[in-house]
Amino acid sequence: MTGAGGNLRAVLSRPALEVAPLLLGAHLRVGEVTLRLTEVEAYAGEQDPGSHAHRGRTPRTEVMFGPAGHLYCYLSYGMHTCANVVTGPEGEASAVLLRAGEVVEGRALARRRRPGVRDRDLARGPGRLCRALGMDLTHDGLDLCEDGGEVSLSLLADDPGGGGEPRISWGPRVGLSRAADRAWRCWLDGDATVSTYRRSPQATPIGTSG
DNA sequence: AACAGGATCCTCT
DNA sequence: GAGGATCCTGTTA
């Protein structure tokens, strides 16, 4: 684990597809709860039909066009908050969706927010992850690269995934109706907190959507 | 001003 | 495996 400091934003300013695997094993802290990230998805901005930014700059997607290292939060299906780390250079709206993780600190608080579920399910899925961390739309735009803030991010110094072999797997992104075949989701192979894959019923048949 | 459509989750079967 | 909850967002009128 590195105190990446000022160079954290530089790393996050690389393309989403490069940043995504670097987030695996990283620690995301929101208030008193800290998560070890185990599953993420890359979104490549305006060029990516699966991205919210595909149709250009809007009030909602504005944060993604800004500098890397900020949170992009949105509401899914009316009740679930989902969170991304903005990546890439300023002006390019790429981001990485945080899909799952393991609670490594503040577990009691996370359990209170997600009563009745097993520990491995506390943050297993993008909506559940935000619930366990207490994240909502008020976190949209917050900077992950400042020490002492409400939110912070610590990348692994090296050895992504931790403990020996990297063991990172790649597969299609979850629930997309467009660009459903791009293998832009990555996860720590074999980790119990990785969410289960579901293809969108709206998606074109396998192999025809790029 | 109104509408259609989700980067999901939970509860059944 | 299927269906419903629920409300913001972007688009259209």
Express each pLDDT in A104-159 by its tens digit. Answer: 999 999 999 999 999 999 999 999 999 999 999 999 999 999 988 999 999 987 65
Token pair of A1 as six digits: 């684990």
How many CB atoms within 10 Å of residue A162? 14
For strand B, is any atom closer than 7 Å to the CB of A147?
Answer: no
Token pair of A2 as six digits: 């590195």
For chain A, what percent of residues have pLDDT higher than 90? 86
Global confidence as pTM: 0.94
Rounded to whole angstroms, the distance from the CA of residue A49 to the C1' of nucleotide B6 is 14
Q: Is A79 helix (H, G, I), strand (E, B) or coil?
A: coil
Kind and range of the H or E run holding A127: helix A126-133
By the 8 A CB rule, do A155 and A175 touch?
no
**What nucleotides of chain B have any atom within 7 angstroms of a protein Cβ?**
5-10
- Partners of A72 in the beta sheet? A84
Q: Name the nucleotide nearest A58; use CA and C1'.
A: C10
